[in-house]
Every structure is written in C-alpha cells, then in structure tokens.
Structure 1
Amino acid sequence: MTQYNKFKQASVFAASALALAVASASHAVDFEVGDTKASVYGYAKLDIIYDVDADLGNAISHNNATTGKKIVLDGEPSQDGHFNMHAYQSRIGFQTTTPVSGSDLVTRIEGDFYGSGGGSFRLRHAYGSWGGILAGQTWTNFYGFVAGTPTIDFTGPPGVANQARQPQLRYTAGNFSASIEDPDTLGGSEKAQNDVVQTDSDTAKSELPDVTARYTDTSGPFKYSASAVLRQLEFDAEADPNATVDDDSAFGWGIALEAAMDVSEAITLRAGVTHGDGLGGYMNVSPQTSPAYVADNGDLETLESTGGTLGASIKAGPGAINASYNVATVDLDDEEIDGDDTFETAYLNYIWSPAERISYGIETSWASRETKGGDDGDAVRIQGMVMYSF
C-alpha cells in the first residue's frame, strides 16, 4: 500500500472519531387471534452514502463480492466522489406463536427490498419451528451471532461466518443445534456456492446437502460459539459436450469460532475466526465465492480460506460507538486461478436512539482488496442512516 493511501486511511479515521453515528431492534405491532399471538414488525430505513473514491454501490462488501470488484486498484482510472441514497434495507415481517401439544409453534415470514442488489422485494425468512425442529429458510446454522460488531453498511464485516439465510432443516437441543442446508443458495449468487470454475458450461452439481453443527453458550460476561460445516463439491462433465476433463468430487469443510466479552457495563469486546477448505460462501464476503475449481489435469481443487474480525462497542450517551477491523483471505499461491485473494474493511460508527423506535447513525468505513499478483486498492465511504421501526 502506498504512503499516500496509508496517510489517507489514518486521516479519515482520525476525523471520523469525532462523528456521532447502535441500531435499535425492530419493535412490533402485537395482536391475538384465538390462542395465537401475532406480530407485524419492521422498519423503514434511509441510507445516505458518500464514496470518497470509486462508487462502491449500495453496500461495500456486497458489491465488491458480487458485481465486478468495485474497489479500483491503484493505477487504474477512477471517478472519485459519489453521492447515493436508498431505502432498500427497509423490511417487513410477520410472526405467529401458537401453543401446540405443550410446545410453541412459531412461524415467521419476512422480506426486504435488497433483491437483485437493490430495488426488488425478496424473501429473507420463511420458516416454522416446533419441538426443537425448524424447517424453512432462515439464518444458516453456521453463524453464531456472537462476533459481529454492528455496522451501518448492510453486508457487515468480512471474515466471519456468513450471515446468509438459506433453506434448511434444523434440530436444536439446548445450546446445540445441527442442520442440513441447501448447498446451492448460500450468499444468493447466481450460480450459487457450488459454482466451481470449470469448463464451458455450468457443470457443477449437488448430490448431498451441506451439514452444519453449532454450540453456543454464555458464562458470566463471556459468550462464545463454535460451529462446523461439511460439504460435498462435485462437477459432472457429461453436462458439457465440449468438456475435456472427467467427473470429480471433493469434500469441503469449515469451522468458525466466535467470542464476546462484556468488559464492563459500557464496553463489549468481540473476536472471531473462520477457516476452511472448500468453504466458499460460508465465509462472509470471501474474495472467491467459489469453493473449488477444475484444474488443468481435471481434478477438482478446493480453495483454502481464512478470515477474522476484532471489534468493540462502547456505550456513549443514547447509543454506542462501534469499531471493527475485518479481513477475509483465500490462498491462491499454489492454485491455477487468478483474482482477488484478500479483502479488508474497518468500520467506525456511532448509532443512537433519541427516542423509542427511532435510530440514527453515522459511519466511516475503509475497504481494500488485493489480487494474487500483489496489486491492491482501497476506498473510503461515509454513510448515515435514519431508521423508524414499528
């Protein structure tokens, strides 16, 4: 990284320390129908964005990972300075709770407007749970919701387990949960996470579901989570008449460790690490969303990835100051493919609630990407939000 970029990064974060920018949870409108308790909830949110450098789109991590690497590499031409506003994160949900045979039957349906990168309504959650069995679409069981430091940027920190939602069948007993999950939907990419880099056509296939297990617990001020995922990756050359390689398959795996500590009533520290081989989109904002590729010799080669996060929240006035550093890497050194191998972000924000159901926030973020060949680039964003919950 050039001395100018280092100076720019330091200067922006020094200035943003003076900014005031912790989102309150959605409230709900509750009512009862017979013995069923129902809630309608959601919020309207406006994001106000200024990109100091290249236009990063609606969300930094989301656009860098899926729409053409918006962070411009050093030495490449770029148009600096872009203003943007949108309300795509606004969402609405409906939840019911009904006592059935000694256990609560819970259903939930929720959507927002981040479909197709922003502007189209999409399904976020659609599931039911009863007696410890959950069926439908919701957060992947691989993520423990412990290490993530709040951000205004929609996609959140890279390097942790992905906060994506996908179809699954899950069983929970106390602090332990296990699931089988759809192998083709995580992260919402067009060709999904079984998108191996391969021959002339999409010959990836899924024969088995992804399997996850997670344990989450709390001990005094300390909370932790440990999770694992096992996947089968496969391509079938018979689907491509021009293929010159045979079929092959491999297993992918990943682990995620998360921890948070309430140091005092005002200070919370968080950390997390994710690692795996063939992990693909199960790591949030991976530089390579594909878990594997077909090598010249026809073998399906899995990609090793590692990521991590460090963050802190400090209560201040009616809200909290949040800061985090995050990194996601994919080891391409001995691989036959090129592309990005490192993605980093740092966030500093203040999010506060002047009144119930109302949240304001302001955030400064820095993001960078580096290619296998050592080329890199970075960008700075200033973002504000106004959110009204119901």
Structure 2
Amino acid sequence: MQSNKLRVAIRATAATAVLGLASQAHAFSFSAGDIDASVYGYARLNMSYDIDENLANGVQAGNPNSITGSDIGGHFGASANQSRVGIRATNPDGVMVNVEGDFAPGTFRIRHAYGSYKGVLAGQTWSNYNSFVGSTPTLDFNGVVGNAGYQSRTAQLRYTTGAMSFSVEDPKSSVPNQRDSTPTFTARMENSGDSLSYSVAALVKQNAYDTGANDDSTVAFGVFGAAKFAISDMISLQGAINYVDGATNYLYLSGGSDAYLQGSSLENNSGMGGTLGTSIKLGGGSSINVAYGMTTLDDEGLAAGDTETNQNLFVNYMWTPVKNVMMGVEYGLFDTEKVGGASEDASRVMFAAQYNF
C-alpha cells in the first residue's frame, strides 16, 4: 500500500472545445493510498454585446427562443459563471468516479456525478442520446440549434461494449398533466476510422397524461446521425440530422412540447433538425469555425404564435496563444419563425477567454 501522503504532479491530457466547452488541458494528479485522482477545470470569462435585443443568459449565451422582437438593442454583459471544477478518481480494480460542477446558473450546480466499472455506468452524465462527433466549436455556451440529441446531462444507467452503448434514463417530457411512468430507453453506436467519425442513436419513451378523469398515452421515438469528415489536416466538415416524434425535448432548442391534447386523446408532436459546419486550422494555435443549425416542428399540433422554426449561425476565430489558454471572438445570428409566418431575428458578438488547469 502506498502511504496517504499526497504526491502532486502535473499531467497533460487532451483538450477539446465543443459547444464552447473544453475538457481539461492539464489536471492536478495525485495519489492517496491506492486511489489515483485528478482535479481539473477552467476559469472562463464571457463578454457579449447584443445588437438587436438582449438574448444573454447567466453565461452570456444566446437562444432563439428568447427572441421577442422588442428591437431594444445595445446590451452588454460579462460573466465568469461558466467556470468549472471537477475531480476524477480511479481505484486499482478499475472503478472510476467523476464529479464535476460549474456556476452557470449563478450558483454552483452538479454537471456530472457518476461511477463506472467494466462498461457499466450509473449516475448523471451526458445522455446516451447525444453526440459531439458532428459538432462545430462555438464560443456560445448553448451552441448550434439542432445539435445531435439531448445536449445536457441526465441521470441514467448505461452499459457500453465496444462501439455500442445502451441506457435507461430519466425521461425528458413536456405534455399537459404529464405523468412519467416509464424511463427513456436509448441505444447508440459511435466509431471512427481514417478520416471519418460517425455516431447514430435511437430512443423510445412513453408520453402520458392523467387528470384523474381522463388519461391517455403514446409511444415516442427519436433517431439521429452525426458525422465528421477530415478533408485534410487543416479542414474538416461536420454535421448532424435528428428526427423526433413525440420527443421534442430531444430536439435541441426547438422550443416545442412533446405532445398535445386533441379532445381527450394525446397526440405526438414531430419535428426535425440539423447542423452543418466547418473548422479550418490556420496554424499557430488559431482556427476559424463556421456553424449553422436549424429545427422545424410539424405545425399540426401547434397553435398560432407557437415556435415553428429556429435557426442560428456562428462564425468565430479561436486562438491558443500559449498552452492551456484559449481566446476567441464570435458573431452569432439567431432567427425564429412562428406559426402563421411571423419571424424575428437578432444578432450579437461575443468574446471569451478560458484558462484551463
């Protein structure tokens, strides 16, 4: 047995910017007894200027669902709430535990809290109906409308074998007088070879409502595909496409509800979304990224004034002047269209600086 005295070292690990989020570039690693652990995270400043109307949330990110058409422009804001810290520990038997949090809502929150052993994962982490394979890096914390799957973390039990993973997850539903009586079941295959990386996934869940006097249920499902193709060492193309029926909470930033009542019957809302982007490495730690995304809902279950289509576009320049430091500037354009054809748009610019450890 090793002594309990902490032996601190600095260990380099991979860094990947996805949706404006970065994994640890360096972690403080140490051993305590027979446990190997690392502490990682970053400090980040986001600054935004909303040209048309104020879209910024607590981390200065934009959302097309926040567009009101007020035309009251000229809003500046800054925040360090996106900063985060995490710890990862592994014992000699291969049991790994990861707990991570950030300050995005303005107070500390848990992002990841899970353990894994021999392909079995239990706890809260990214939904299995999710992939970053087709994502283009943005400075905006929310990222591109229509990104593949559920772009957040959820409680789940997951099993992974090779390229396949299966999960039972906390259901994400939005129906009138909602009753969740079953989990969400998902399956995903994700792999890569040569210049192509890809991911495909499916989910099935139940939508149900119960007023005491009336009740009904439907079966909901979703499928997505995402891919990234490296044209050369400098240029890549990536994107995703996602279709849902009764699962609009898994259609990122669509703004829709899963189902609606037609008399006493529950009917599913359906929709689809997609993204397309390119990343160009310029050398010297700098890159240009262009990303577009959209979602559209079937208007059969929508009422006048409900969101039908959302879109956004990002163009950014990211620069790594020294290891563990990223800075960037970004232009974002957001557009939303309501049932009946009314549409509004808004644009904004953003600066970010991130220091990883």
* Structure 1 Cα separation of the partners of residues 95 and 141 of structure 2: 31
State yes or no: 1:159 paired with 2:146. Answer: yes
Task: Give, in angstroms, the shift of residue 287 of structure 1.
Answer: 2.3
State yes or no: 1:46 paired with 2:12. Answer: no
Unaligned 5+ runs, structure 2 = 1-19
Partner of 2:186: 212
Task: Give, in angstroms, the shift of residue 336 of structure 1.
Answer: 5.1
- Map Cα deviations across residues 272-322 of structure 1 (whole Å, 9 max, x no partner): 10001011211211121x211222x11111110100000010001312111
Kindly tell me the number of residue pairs found equivalent between the two proteins: 334
Partner of 1:283: 251
Partner of 1:78: 71
* Structure 1 Cα separation of the partners of residues 122 and 181 of structure 2: 20
State yes or no: 1:313 paired with 2:312. Answer: no
- Map Cα deviations across residues 188-233 of structure 1 (whole Å, 9 max, x no partner): xxxxx4221x3xxxx2111110000000111211011000000101
Structure 1 counterpart SS, 2:249 = helix
Task: Give, in angstroms, the shift of residue 64 of structure 1.
Answer: 3.6
Tell me which amino acid in the other structure corresponds to 2:173. Answer: N
Partner of 1:259: 227
Tell me which amino acid in the other structure corresponds to 2:266. Answer: L
8 Å CA contact retained: 1:96, 1:107:
yes
Tell me which amino acid in the other structure corresponds to 2:349. Answer: I
| Structure with greater proportional strand content | 2
Superposed, which structure 2 residues align to 1:104-115 within 5 Å?
Answer: 104-115=94-105
- Map Cα deviations across residues 15-41 of structure 1 (whole Å, 9 max, x no partner): xxxxxxx87642211111122210111
Tell me which amino acid in the other structure corresponds to 1:212. Answer: T
| Structure with greater proportional helix content | 1
8 Å CA contact retained: 1:59, 1:153:
no
* Structure 2 Cα separation of the partners of residues 367 and 144 of structure 1: 23
Partner of 1:341: 308
Partner of 1:121: 108
> Judging changes above 3 Å, is the alpha-carbon distance between structure 1 residues 349 and 336 closer, same or farther for their aligned structure 2 residues?
closer
> Judging changes above 3 Å, is the alpha-carbon distance between structure 1 residues 105 and 141 closer, same or farther for their aligned structure 2 residues?
same
* Structure 2 Cα separation of the partners of residues 343 and 60 of structure 1: 21
Equivalent position to 2:169, from 152, 166, 181: 181
Note the aligned Cα RMSD (angstroms): 1.7
Unaligned 5+ runs, structure 1 = 1-21, 184-192, 239-244
Partner of 1:19: none
Tell me which amino acid in the other structure corresponds to 1:227. Answer: A
* Structure 2 Cα separation of the partners of residues 329 and 162 of structure 1: 16
Structure 2 counterpart SS, 1:235 = strand
* Structure 1 Cα separation of the partners of residues 55 and 200 of structure 2: 33
8 Å CA contact retained: 1:51, 1:82:
yes
* Structure 2 Cα separation of the partners of residues 331 and 176 of structure 1: 31
Partner of 2:343: 376
> Judging changes above 3 Å, is the alpha-carbon distance between structure 1 residues 378 and 59 closer, same or farther for their aligned structure 2 residues?
farther
State yes or no: 1:94 paired with 2:81. Answer: no
Superposed, which structure 2 residues align to 1:223-238 within 5 Å?
Answer: 223-238=197-212
Structure 1 counterpart SS, 2:92 = strand
* Structure 1 Cα separation of the partners of residues 62 and 258 of structure 2: 19
Structure 1 counterpart SS, 2:320 = strand
Tell me which amino acid in the other structure corresponds to 1:168. Answer: Q
